[in-house]
Amino acid sequence: MTDAFTDAVRLRDLLKTWANHAAFPLWWKVGADHKGGGFFEKIEQSGEAPDSPRRGRVLPRQIYSFTAAGKLGWTGPWKKAVEHGLSYYLDVYRKPDGLFRTLVGPGGVVLDDTAPLYDQAFALFALANAFEVTGRQDLKAIAVSVRDRLNATLRHPLGGFNETAPPTLPLQSNPHMHLFEASLAWAEQDGDDPEWRDLADMIAELALSRFIAADTGALREFFDDKWGSAPGVEGRIWEPGHQYEWGWLLLRWGKLAARPDATAAALRMIDLAERVGCDAERGVAVNAMLDDMSAHDNGARLWPQTERIKAGVLAAEITGDDRWWGVAVEGAEGLLQYLRTPVPGLWRDKLKPDGAFIEEAAPASSFYHIVCAIAELDRAVTAAS
């Protein structure tokens, strides 16, 4: 057993303890709206949850987080939490056309009835994970209706999807990443429906052919209407966090599809994020870089640290190279900085270039990233032990 792997086990244990004894209890007791339904958008650092508009992309993240809670060993009412979130989501956010709206206010008042691709990707992801733990067959039909509607209204003629109907620019890779994650989740849950695998394959091929710059291995964020780089600075941006996150997904797909080219591209992406996209002094992955490898945004949000963990453990598992365990360990050490809060179970979200955190409420949207990283670290450590 190597030193890096030993450190990974220790950090896995620390993070699972934090999740099971602090985070899951707090986000169920305080973060759930037990009177009106669903979950709140944030919890203040003082420990109170204000009632504010709730984005359609956040509720499915909370549903996922509680589906993972049971697997991580939380002994609290995780099944009740899943059903609590799911019933509210289906009742309040689902539109007559089968898609999910983007913003709802207190009391279920509709504030924004649009249904962008990004939010539908998270709807599909939550439905897949809820199906896994509940076995509810109606969730399959709901997911298929979302997929069919996306194909009918948002498909781009050159592959992939527009973000909205009617189309707007720039086109974006990020919503495709989450749709990729959701399609892989459904392919695992519903192997009898080949269209989920077809969707995953299409997105993977688009990433390999259009999103990833051949010369640098950087995955671009913004595109013109023909999937070329968007004009100006937008077309030059790449994000270390997304390098890790796409890398993790492409490693999964490369193994599933027996595609060593995808595995090689994923490892190159992760390596680039490590070499160029991390600040050793603060011990974190930064927000955004440019194609000349200069910093575009040297702040560091919480979520890139979680993606560094996921990418590191899967790279270690697939390659057998111990250095990738070191990547996961550095990601976990970086993440722990964000979890040191006055109220256990909360987090800081934004680390400034000077090393100080912005004082603000803990956003519920980050819980999905944290939980997914802990779950992947736990899975990989258990498999390797």
Q: What is the mean pLDDT of the chain?
A: 97
pLDDT tens-digit readout, 139-187: 999 999 999 999 999 999 999 999 999 999 999 999 999 999 999 999 9
pLDDT at 128 over 70: yes
**Mean pLDDT, residues 247-252:** 98
Cα 343 to Cα 105: distance, rounded to the nearest angstrom: 26
pLDDT tens-digit readout, 203-228: 999 999 999 999 999 999 999 999 99
Question: What integer pLDDT is reported at residue 88 of this predicted model?
Answer: 98
Helix axes 59-71, 117-134, angle to 10 degrees: 30
Question: What integer pLDDT is reported at residue 1 of this predicted model?
Answer: 66
Question: What integer pLDDT is reported at residue 2 of this predicted model?
Answer: 84
**Mean pLDDT, residues 59-69:** 98
CB 338 within 8 A of CB 23: no
CB 300 within 8 A of CB 285: yes
| Closest of 372, 373, 363, 370 to residue 31, by C-alpha | 363
Cα 74 to Cα 176: distance, rounded to the nearest angstrom: 31
pLDDT at 366 over 90: yes
**Cis peptide bond upstream of 342, omega within 30:** no
Element spanning 238, H or E: strand 237-238
Question: What integer pLDDT is reported at residue 307 of this predicted model?
Answer: 98
pLDDT tens-digit readout, 264-319: 999 999 999 999 999 999 999 999 999 999 999 999 999 999 999 999 999 999 99
pLDDT tens-digit readout, 86-126: 999 999 999 999 999 999 998 999 999 999 999 999 999 99
The two three-digit tokens of residue 330, written as one number: 């550095």
| Closest of 305, 319, 236 to residue 277, by C-alpha | 305
Element spanning 88, H or E: helix 78-88
CATH of segment(s) 212-334: 1.50.10.20
The three-class DSSP label of residue 289 is: strand
**Cis peptide bond upstream of 166, omega within 30:** yes
The two three-digit tokens of residue 12, written as one number: 């896995």
CB 121 within 8 A of CB 175: yes
Question: What integer pLDDT is reported at residue 355 of this predicted model?
Answer: 97
Percentage of the chain lying above the pLDDT 90 cut: 98
Question: What integer pLDDT is reported at residue 232 of this predicted model?
Answer: 98
pLDDT at 41 over 90: yes
Percentage of the chain lying above the pLDDT 70 cut: 100
